[in-house]
Amino acid sequence: GDIGRGRGSEAGEFTDPRFATVDANGAIYVTDVKSDRPRIQVFDRNGKFLRIFAEKGTGPGQILRGHGLAFDRKGRLYVTDVDNMRVSAFAPDGTFLFHWGKDGLNPGDFNAPHGLYMDANDDVFVNGYYGPTQKFTNDGRYLFAFAYGDPPDGSVYFHSLTGDKWGNVLVTVRT
């Protein structure tokens, strides 16, 4: 079936969906922006609306512009927040657990984080829109960075991430 009830501002409707992922039980999680309602909506595998969480805002557990989504092996949902410059973690029921990150150019800081990928070891990869891609433990400890931006003529606009079964991390970028 179709996910959601179409365009609108009510729970189960979308204004500007950004990313979707599926949990181990088949529930579909979707980030949505450009409205005043909570930012993450959940649907069953048939598209029936289940719940909505992560209020709009800057406080703990709140999201301004959610983008990347991934689950760890414990079922915790990690979300990149482009405008709050952080990664937030939620329990499967939507309860806020913790977040990390801040705006900046130092290792571990973010510059418009977009993509998020969780590898088989539950390490978290996050790319900034202007680079780099950084690797963290699933509790937010910075490990290292790669795939740096090279504006104005080189790589820039890093958008999303994924990986493969061999441990390779794949980054989409406009050059």
| Whole-number Å distance between alpha carbons of 89 and 69 | 10
**Nearest-CA neighbor of 55 among 83, 33, 78, 73?**
33
- Written as tens digits, the pLDDT of the chain (175 aa) is 566 666 777 778 888 888 999 999 999 999 988 777 788 999 999 999 999 999 999 999 999 999 999 999 999 999 999 999 999 999 989 999 999 999 999 999 999 999 999 999 999 999 999 889 999 999 999 999 999 988 778 788 898 999 999 989 999 887 7
**Nearest-CA neighbor of 125 among 109, 138, 106?**
138
Flag whether the pTM goes above 0.85.
Answer: yes
| Whole-number Å distance between alpha carbons of 145 and 141 | 12
Residue at token pair 């992560």: 54
- CA dihedral (165, 47, 159, 32) in degrees, to 10, reads -150
DSSP, res 70: E
